[in-house]
Amino acid sequence: MRFNLRWRLALIGVLPLFFYIFSGSYLLTELKNTNDTMQDEVYGVSTRSISLILNADRDLYQAFSAYQYLALGKLDDEGKGKWSKSLDENLKDSARRVQETIAILEQNELLELTDENGQTVAQLSDAFNKEFSAWSQTVIDAVQSGQAASKDTEISEQFNHVRGYLDVIGNTLDVYADQQIETSSDKFEITKFSNMLGMALVILLLIALIYFSIRSIMRTVRAVMVKMKKVADGDLTAERSMKYGNDELGDILRSVDDMMDVLKRLISSIALNAKNVGNSTSQLNIISQESSAASQHVATNIQEVTNGTEVQARSAEETAKAIEEMTIGIQRLAENTTASAEQSLSTSEEAGQGQQALERLVGQMNQVKEVIGELSSVIETLEKRSQQIGSIAENITAFANQTNILSLNASIEAARAGEQGRGFAVVAGEIRKLAASSLESADGIHQLVAETRSEISGASGFMARTLEEVHEGYNRVEELQQSLSVIVAAIDSMTDQLQENSAITEQMSASSEQVNASMEQSASSAAANLERTESVAAATEEQLALMDSIASAASQLDGVVGDLNRAVNYFKLKK
C-alpha cells in the first residue's frame, strides 16, 4: 500500500493536534483534581476551625455548668473540689481551643475575614479573649468569695455575650468556606470553558494551517514532478509558472523553470550548430567530389601529355637513326619533321588545356581550404558550447548534491526530534529522492556532453589534419602548376625548334652536322619533358589520394553530426 506525501503531511499536522487535545484534556482533569483538592483543604481548615470553636463553646458551657453547681452552695467539700477542678479545666480547654483556632486561621491568613457587621476574626478573637478573661476572673472571684448567687445574673449575661463571639467566629468560618468552595467552582468552570474555547480555536487554526500548508506543498511538488517528468521524456516545452511563492517552495519551482530555460537555450544552440556543421559537411563532400573529378581530368591530360612525350622521344630516336641514313632519303626526314611539328603543336594545345584545368583545380583547392577553415571554426564553437553545457551540468550536479546534503541534515534534525520529527524526515527523504533524480538527469546530461565533446574534439583534430593535408595538396598543385608551366614552355620551345628543323631540312644537304646537333637537343628536351611529366603524374596521384582522404573525413564528420542530431532530437523544444 502506497502512503503518499499528502497523507504524510496530514499525519505530521494531525499528530501534534491529537497530542494537543490529549494534553488539554489532561490539564483539565488535573485542574479539576487540584480544585477538588483545594476545596477539600479549604473545607478541612474551616471544619477544624469550626470544630475547635464548637469544642471551645462546649467547654465554655461546661465551665458555666460547673459554676452553677458551685453557685448553689449545697455541695460538700469533695463536690466543691470536683466542680472547681472541672471549672478550671474547662476554662483552660476553652481558652486553649480558641488559641488553636486563632493559630490555624493565622497560618492560613484568615484573620482578616469579616462578619456581616464588618468585624474581622482577629478583632472578634481579641474581643473574645478580653471578655473571656474578664468573665473567667469574675466566675472565679464569685466562687471563691461565696457571692455566686448574687452575681448569677451578671455572670449569665457575660457568658451569653462571650458565647456570642464564638458563634460569630463559627458562622464567619462557615460563610468563608461556602464562599471559597463556590468561588473555586466558578473559577474552575470559567477556566474549563476558556480552555475548551481556546482548544477549539487552536484546533480550527491548526486544521486551516495544515490544510493550506499541505495544499501549497502539494501544488509545488506536483508542478515540479510534472516538469521533471517532461524533462526526463525529452520534452522542454513546459511553460514557466505564472506566479511563485515567497518561500523555499517558490524558490525550488523558480529554479526548476530556470534550469529548463537554460537547457532549452543550450539544446537549441547545439541543434543550430549541428545543422550548420551538417550543411558545411555536405558542401565539403560536394567540393571534394568536384576536386576529385578535376584531379582525375588533370591526371588524364597529363597521361596524354606523357604519351605524347614518349612518342616525341621515340620520334627523336628515329630521327637520329634517320640522320645516319640521311643519304637514303631527305624526303622521309622532311615528312617526319613536319609530323613532329604538328605533334608538338597538338601537345602545346593539350598542355594549355592542362594548365587551365590545373588553375581551376587551384581555385577549387582554395574553396576547400576556406570551407574547412569555416568548418573548423564551427567545430570550435561547438566545443565551447559543449563546455558551457558541461558547466551547467556541473552546476546542476552541485545543486542536487547541496539539496541532498540539506535533506540529510533535515533527516538528522528530524531524527533528533524523535517521534514529532518523523513526518518531517519523510518529507526530507522525498526531497532527497528528488535531488537524486535531478543528479541522475544531470549525470546523464554530463555524460552526453562528455561524449559529444569527445566526438567534437576528434572531429576537430581530424579537421586540423585535413586542413594540413589540403594545404599540402595546395602546395603540390602549385608545384604541379609550375612544372606544367615549364612543360608548356618546353613544348613551345620544342615547337620552335621543330619549325627550325623544318626550315633547316631544306638546307640539310649543306649542314648535316647542324641537323644532327638539333636532333640531339630535341631528344634531350623530350627526355626532360618525360621526366617532368612523370613528376606531374605522381603529384596528381597524391592529389587524388588527398581528395579521397578529405572525402573520408567529411563522411566521418557527417556521421558525428548525425549522432549529435539524434542526441539533440531526443529533446522537444517546441509544441
What is the count of structural domains for the chain?
2
CA–CA separation, 180 and 301 (whole Å): 134
- The C-alpha cell that represents 73 in the structure block: 452552695
Q: What is the DSSP string of 218-263?
A: HHHHHHHHHHHHHHHTTB--PPPPS---SSHHHHHHHHHHHHHHHH
Are 290 and 349 in a shared domain?
Answer: yes
Asked whether residue 81 falls in the same domain as residue 196, the answer is yes
- C-alpha span between 492 and 351 (Å, rounded): 10
Number of H helices, E strands in the chain: 8, 0
Same domain as 296, residue 196:
no
Answer yes or no: is 377 within a domain: yes
Collapsing DSSP to helix, strand or coil, 572 comes out as strand
For every one of its 575 residues, what pLDDT tens digit does the chain have, with 9 covering 90 and above?
445 556 666 667 677 777 777 777 777 777 676 666 655 566 577 788 888 888 988 998 898 888 888 777 676 778 778 888 888 899 899 889 889 988 888 888 888 888 888 888 888 888 888 988 888 888 888 777 776 667 777 888 888 888 888 888 888 888 887 888 788 788 878 888 888 888 788 788 878 877 777 777 778 778 888 888 887 887 777 777 777 777 677 788 788 888 878 877 887 887 788 778 777 777 767 876 776 676 677 567 667 756 766 766 676 667 667 666 765 666 776 677 677 667 767 776 776 777 777 677 767 767 767 766 776 677 777 777 767 777 776 777 776 678 778 777 877 877 787 777 777 677 777 777 877 777 787 677 778 767 777 777 776 776 677 767 767 876 776 776 677 677 667 667 766 776 676 676 667 656 566 656 666 676 676 567 667 667 766 766 776 676 677 667 667 767 766 777 676 666 565 66
Residue 374 lies in a domain: yes
Domain contains 574: no
Q: Could you tell me if residue 188 is inside a domain?
A: yes
Whether 414 is in a domain gets the answer no
Is the domain of 134 the same as that of 266?
no
User: CA angle, corner 489, sides to 488 and 490, nearest 5?
Assistant: 90
Same domain? 333 vs 195: no
| 3-class secondary structure, 326 | coil
Mark which of 225, 244, 277 sits at the end of a domain.
225
Q: Are residues 204 and 304 in the same domain?
A: no
First to last CA, the chain: 37
Q: Are both 324 and 175 inside the same structural domain? A: no
Q: Are residues 365 and 482 located together in one domain of the fold? A: yes
**CA quadruple 58, 64, 70, 73: dihedral sign:** negative
CB 267 within 8 A of CB 571: yes
What is the domain extent for residue 360? 259-389+471-569
The residue among 201, 225, 249 that closes a domain is 225
Grid coordinates given for 158: 457575660
- Can you tell me the distance from the alpha carbon of 100 to that of 80, in angstroms, rounded to the nearest whole number? 30
pTM exceeds 0.75 for this model? no
Inside any domain, residue 101: yes
Same domain, 101 and 192: yes
User: Is residue 149 domain-shared with residue 276, that is, in the same domain?
Assistant: no
- Residues 28, 168, single domain; the answer is yes
What sign does the dihedral 388-390-396-398 (CA atoms) show?
negative
> Both 208 and 297 in a single domain?
no
Asked if residue 233 belongs to a domain, the reply is no
Rounded CA gap, 405 and 377, in Å?
A: 42
The answer to whether position 401 is within a domain reads no
Q: Which one of 225, 249, 274 terminates a domain? A: 225
CA distance 57 to 163: 7
